[in-house]
Each structure stands twice: as C-alpha cells, then as structure tokens.
C-alpha cells in the first residue's frame, strides 16, 4: 500500500480533493474520520492511501491548529485584513478581526487596498497598528498586490477579511487569475445567504494557498469574556506588565500602565477607546445571557 501526505483543497458531498505535490487525488474518507471534530475539512493536512486512477482514501487527519466556522476551514495561517479609503474604514471591525486572529493563532496582515486612488488613511492606520501587524499598501488593479504572495511562503494558507466593498474579491481575482469571482456588492451582507451555501476551496498560488471565501467568522467576537478581552490585544499586553493589578482591565483600576501609555501617546488613544467600547459591548452581551 502506498501512503502519501497532502492538503484538502476542496470538499463536496463527502468527496475530498487532496493536493499532494502537483497532483490532485479524489479521495473518500471512512466514517470514523468523519464524526464531529474529526470531519475532514478543507485545509486539513491528511495522510491518504493512494489507489489507482488518481483516487485515494484518507486514513489520517493531522491535528489542526485552528478551525474557522464561516467558511468551515482548517489551519488558516494568515489573514489579510483589507481596508481602503473608500468605503471609510471600520477600525472597530479591524480590531475585532485582530483579536480573533490573536485567539486563533493567525498572522494578521493589514492590507490598505485601492492605493491607486488618493489615499488618506495610511497615517491613521500606521498610528493605530504599527507594531501590531504588518501593514502593506496595494491596489487590486495593478501588479502591486503580488507582494501578498510573500506572506504565503512555506505553503501557508491565507484568507481575506474586512468590510464590504474594500476590494477583497478584486484582490482574490488579481492573485488567482483563473478564479474570476463576482465583484461588486453582491449579497455579502454579514456573510449569510449566497456565500454560506457555496463550498469554499483552497487555491494554490505561486507560493501557498488562498481561501476563495472571506473569513466571515473572523469579523465577530465569540467565546471571549469581557474581562479577558485585554489578553488578546498584543500591544496592551506588553504594557500591562506595569499595571498595579495583574488582572487590570485598564478601565477603572488605579495605577494602570495602559491608561498611562495612552495619556503619553505611547499607545493609540482611538484604539484604547474602541477597546473600552468592545469591552462594554461584551459586558452587555454577558448581562443579556442571564
Ligand atoms: N480603484 C480601485 N478600485 C477597486 C480596487 N479594488 C476593488 N475596487 C473596486 O471596489 C469595488 C468593490 O470591490 P470588491 O472586490 O467587490 O469588494 P469586496 O466587497 O471587499 O469583495 C468594485 O467596484 C471594485 O472594482 C482597487 O484596488 N482600486
Ligand atoms: Mg466580495
Ligand atoms: Zn491596566
């Protein structure tokens, strides 16, 4: 028997396309691999038994380092958080995606798209996010977006996330010339509707892989408690060592190093204000649970 390793790039009705080297195999998975968490997902690294005629059987699913729910996809390494000067950036959403990336061990890259247009947001983006994530300026209508391939080196898997109309689909089309997904403002509202019924696939690029559906689940905060939110903001965590209380939430506590850093301009004030708002939002949601 011949065993090979590969990555699941497509899944439709229990048929998995596994890419191994340059070769694709049409694979099935025995039932025992297909219960709950062991279900085989796009993005899974698998061991499969090679059969004749390009077919195979998945025999093992490697441990996942994360799993997104919308789309259902395993082992996402990188998230391109797309912003543009048009439509006006939603930094609040950007923060949420960053928090989710931190929680899911995904490397966030802030992508300022539409840099062919007069751009007024890069100063603001650098002021808020410099040191938290890499920041790159690109345009989906020229070759500049190719710089994003660099983040996929080592067969990494990347998805796009961000508000509607910033150019996520356009960037995908630029980076995957064969894909030609629909651009515009087609029913992408909150990611429900058309897009959830579609199957997500991985597309191999010159370097790693791109997910063809945006990471909608990265746009909402889930499973994070208001008093733990502070632990998911990298820049706050570094400074918080000097807070008087180890459990300081940087709100009402005395001798708070985070608040001091905001006062003296070491931490972004607007980012702090959004943190407070997110905290309150989570607190409210916690209250509503009871
Ligand atoms: N000028 C310019 N327009 C862009 C760029 N990227 C996307 N657009 C336009 O912005 C609109 C929304 O793009 P789309 O890719 O559908 O955004 P999505 O909702 O984030 O997927 C479309 O009209 C695109 O043609 C860009 O880099 N430069
Ligand atoms: Mg789109
Ligand atoms: Zn504090």
Q: Ligand 1 mean position to 165 CA, how many Å? A: 6
Looking at the structure, tell me whether residues 11 and 74 fall in a common domain. Answer: no
Looking at the structure, tell me whether residues 114 and 45 fall in a common domain. Answer: no
Looking at the structure, tell me whether residues 76 and 172 fall in a common domain. Answer: yes
Which atom of ligand 1 is the closest one to the Cα of 140? 27
Residues with CB under 6 A from ligand 1: 113-114, 116-117, 139-141, 164-170, 183-184, 188
In-domain check, residue 272 = yes
Q: Ligand 2 mean position to 142 CA, how many Å? A: 18
Q: What is the spatial distance between Cα 26 and Cα 37, in angstroms, rounded to a whole number? A: 22
In-domain check, residue 224 = no
Query: Which domain CATH number covers 35?
Result: 2.40.50.140
Which atom of ligand 1 is the closest one to the Cα of 138? 27
Q: What is the pLDDT of residues 129-143, one digit of tens each?
A: 999 999 999 999 999
Q: What is the pLDDT of residues 5-37, one digit of tens each?
A: 999 999 998 899 999 999 999 999 987 766 555
Which atom of ligand 1 is the closest one to the Cα of 170? 15
Looking at the structure, tell me whether residues 237 and 207 fall in a common domain. Answer: no
Q: Give the confidence band of 181 by pLDDT, cuts at 50, 70, 90.
A: confident
In-domain check, residue 239 = yes
Residues 6+ apart with CB under 8 A from 264: none
Q: Give the end of a domain, one of 21, 43, 61.
A: 61
Q: What is the pLDDT of residues 183-234, one digit of tens each?
A: 775 444 444 444 444 678 999 998 999 999 999 999 998 889 999 999 999 9
**Domains: count for the chain:** 3
Q: Ligand 3 mean position to 161 CA, how many Å? A: 30
Q: Is the pTM of this model over 0.75?
A: yes
Q: Ligand 2 mean position to 5 CA, how many Å? A: 32
Looking at the structure, tell me whether residues 154 and 33 fall in a common domain. Answer: no
pLDDT at residue 78 above 80? Answer: yes
Q: Give the end of a domain, one of 200, 219, 238.
A: 219
Q: Ligand 2 mean position to 133 CA, how many Å? A: 23
Looking at the structure, tell me whether residues 120 and 244 fall in a common domain. Answer: no
Query: Which domain CATH number covers 236?
Result: 1.10.40.50
Looking at the structure, tell me whether residues 157 and 56 fall in a common domain. Answer: no
Looking at the structure, tell me whether residues 215 and 242 fall in a common domain. Answer: no
Looking at the structure, tell me whether residues 182 and 273 fall in a common domain. Answer: no
Q: Let me know how long the chain is.
A: 290
Which atom of ligand 1 is the closest one to the Cα of 142? 27
Range of the domain at 90: 67-219
- For the beta sheet containing 157-161, the strands, ordered from the edge strand earlier in sequence to the opposite edge, are 134-137, 107-112, 78-83, 157-161, 209-211, 202-204
Q: Give the end of a domain, one of 61, 91, 106.
A: 61
Looking at the structure, tell me whether residues 55 and 103 fall in a common domain. Answer: no
Looking at the structure, tell me whether residues 188 and 98 fall in a common domain. Answer: yes
In-domain check, residue 99 = yes
Q: Give the confidence band of 48 by pLDDT, cuts at 50, 70, 90.
A: very high
Residues 6+ apart with CB under 8 A from 126: 135
pLDDT at residue 175 above 50? Answer: yes
Mutation choice for ligand 1 from 84, 183, 187, 213, CB with most ligand atoms inside 8 A: 183
Per-residue pLDDT at 198: 62
Per-residue pLDDT at 13: 86
Per-residue pLDDT at 255: 97
Q: What is the pLDDT of residues 225-284, one digit of tens each?
A: 999 999 999 999 999 999 999 999 999 999 999 999 999 999 999 999 999 999 999 999
Tell which wins on pLDDT, 107 or 199.
107
Looking at the structure, tell me whether residues 280 and 145 fall in a common domain. Answer: no
Q: What is the spatial distance between Cα 271 and Cα 160, in angstroms, rounded to a whole number? A: 22
Query: Which domain CATH number covers 94?
Result: 3.40.50.300
């Amino acid at each position: 028997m011949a065993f090979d390793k590969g990555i699941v790039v497509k899944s439709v009705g229990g048929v998995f396309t596994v890419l191994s080297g340059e070769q694709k195999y049409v694979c099935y998975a025995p039932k025992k691999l297909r219960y709950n968490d062991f279900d085989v997902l796009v993005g899974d690294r698998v061991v499969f038994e090679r059969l004749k005629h390009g077919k195979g059987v998945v025999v093992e699913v490697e441990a996942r380092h994360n799993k997104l729910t919308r789309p259902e996809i395993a082992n996402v390494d990188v998230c391109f958080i797309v912003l543009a000067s048009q439509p006006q950036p939603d930094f609040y959403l950007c923060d949420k995606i960053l928090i989710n990336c931190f929680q899911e061990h995904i490397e966030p890259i802030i992508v300022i798209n539409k840099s062919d247009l007069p751009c007024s947001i890069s100063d603001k983006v650098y002021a808020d996010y410099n040191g938290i994530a890499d920041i790159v300026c690109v345009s989906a209508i020229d070759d500049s977006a190719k710089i994003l391939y660099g983040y996929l080196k080592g067969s990494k898997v990347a998805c796009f996330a961000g508000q509607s109309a910033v150019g996520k689909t356009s960037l995908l089309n630029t980076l995957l010339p064969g894909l030609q997904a629909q651009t515009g403002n087609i029913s992408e509202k909150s990611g429900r509707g058309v897009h959830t019924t579609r199957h997500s696939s991985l597309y191999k690029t010159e370097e790693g892989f791109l997910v063809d559906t945006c990471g909608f689940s990265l746009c909402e905060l889930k499973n994070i408690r208001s008093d733990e939110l502070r632990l998911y903001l990298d820049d706050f965590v570094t400074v918080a060592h000097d807070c008087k209380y180890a459990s300081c939430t940087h709100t009402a506590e005395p001798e708070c190093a985070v608040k001091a850093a905001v006062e003296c301009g070491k931490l972004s004030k607007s980012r702090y204000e959004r943190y407070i708002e997110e905290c309150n939002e989570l607190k409210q949601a916690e209250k509503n649970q009871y």
